[in-house]
Structure 1
Amino acid sequence: MAEIEKLRVDKYLWAIRIFKTRSLATDACKAGRVKFNGQNVKPSHVVKIGDTYHIQKGVEKKVVEVTALLDKRVDAKTAANFYQDRTPLEETYGYKAMYHAPMLKRDRGAGRPTKKDRREIDELKNDGWDKD
């Protein structure tokens, strides 16, 4: 692969598969969801090896360190060689724990909830805190 001297941050984030499309990467940069040294970066910001970027995609936050430059989109296994994921474990597990929250769902045909059932449902919704 030829040596790349200059590479835009939006193109790099698309190539390493952080964003699905390059326009999504560009929009994230414009919206201030991509930061370098605590500062928002423009989509045309030049990426250098060793740079660390803080990226926010919805509720997910990632910290990515550039280990090599990649200008074309490749498969996920190959793309993983071009960056180092420096996301703290607390943030990684916190994001994933959101999907393991208890679901408030009743079985179909179970009938109306009793007064005791309603109190248990309310307690789950309010995390056990009384409103009194």
Structure 2
Amino acid sequence: MMIHEKLRNLRKQKGMSQEKMAKILSTDPSNYSRKERGEVKIHDDEWQKLADALEVPVEDIKEEKELKMVHNDNSTFNDHSGNYYNQHFNIPNVLLDSLQDYITILKEQNALLKQENEELKNKLKVTEE
């Protein structure tokens, strides 16, 4: 079970609102909601506060979020300077999925623009003849 599901389910079982949990973490409800959904990092001290409020051990609610390993073979990063050479980057799945969705949208828009461009070129040819 993902972090946000465990946290949300346990919070609901205990009859606690997101607003109350936000107060416990000294944050606003929208930020707490993002933490509960796994969009914003929950820091170690916050895990402890949440566990105390829910009356459970931290280990019962805290899990390491799964990260995808991305190896960047771009020559810009492989400049042998020692800063980025052969380094792997941890990128959360939610970010990768979001970027992939955005790329798909851009590809669709690009195809439509290419089609429109061809249609306009053909119209221009007809008017020139």
Q: Shorter-chain-normalised TM-score: which range?
A: under 0.3
> Higher strand fraction: Structure 1 or Structure 2?
1
* TM-score, scaled relative to structure 2: 0.25
Select the structure that is richer in helix.
2
